[in-house]
Amino acid sequence: MLDITGYWAQNVIFHADYEEEGIVFVSDGTGFLFWNNLFVETIDYFRWSLDDDKISMTGVKQFTFREDKLSEVKLSKVNVKDVEVKRVKRKNLNDEEVDAIEFSESLTMFSDSRYGFVRKDVWEIDHYRNLKELILNASVTNDVGT
C-alpha cells in the first residue's frame, strides 16, 4: 500500500513568498491541510482513508488563527472522494531530487495538487506539537473570541 503519512509542503518544490501551504497525513487516519502567511493561518482537520491509491478525506473542523490567536473554529468543508494520489520524485528549489505526492486534482478550491516531503512526524515541530491538543479536541463553534 502507498505510504503517504507525513508532513508535505508546497514550498519544498515551489517558491512561495511569505505564505505556505501543506498537508499532513497521520498514521491514525487523521490529518490536516494548512495555509498560512504572516498574519493568518487556517488548519482544516480531516479523517482520511486510502483504497487502491485513491484517497478520500472528510473534513471535521477548520481553525482560523489571526496573529497567532485562535479566532474561529467551524466545520471543515473538506470533502474529497476517490482522488488518485501517487508518490513521485521532483526537483526541489535547490535542484535536488525529493519525494513528493501528487493528487489527480486539487483537494479544495484553494489548494494545490503537489507537495514535497518535509518529515514523517509533524508533531516533532514545536508549532504543531503546541497545537496538537487543540486540533484534536476543540469543539466546533462559530466564534472563539480572544
Neighbours of 124 (CB within 10 A): 10
pLDDT band per the 50, 70, 90 thresholds, residue 146? very low
pLDDT at 38: 87
In a domain, 1, yes or no: no
Say yes or no to pLDDT of 45 above 80: yes
Q: Flag whether 53 is in a domain.
A: yes
Q: Could you tell me which residues come within 8 angstroms of residue 95 by beta carbon, excluding any fewer than 6 positions away?
A: none
pLDDT interval class at 143 (50, 70, 90): very low
The residue written with cell numbers 466546533 in the block is 140
User: Tell me, what DSSP letter sits at residue 141?
Assistant: B
Question: How many structural domains does the chain have?
Answer: 1
Mean pLDDT, the chain, as a whole number?
87
Domain ranges, residue 55: 6-137
Residue 74 placed within a domain:
yes
**Would 70 be classed as within a structural domain?**
yes
Quick check: 139 pLDDT over 70?
Answer: no
> Tens of pLDDT along 93-110?
888 999 999 999 988 766
The dihedrals phi and psi of 11, each to the nearest 5 degrees, come to -70, -5
Overall pTM surpassing 0.85 (yes/no): yes
Q: Tell me, what CATH number does 131's domain have?
A: 2.40.128
Residue 12 lies in a domain: yes
Question: Does some domain include residue 144?
Answer: no
Q: Where are the beta strands (DSSP E) in the chain?
A: 6-9, 19-25, 30-37, 40-51, 54-66, 69-75, 79-91, 97-103, 114-119
Q: Is the pLDDT of residue 15 over 50?
A: yes
Answer positive or negative: Cα dihedral of 102, 103, 104, 108. Answer: negative
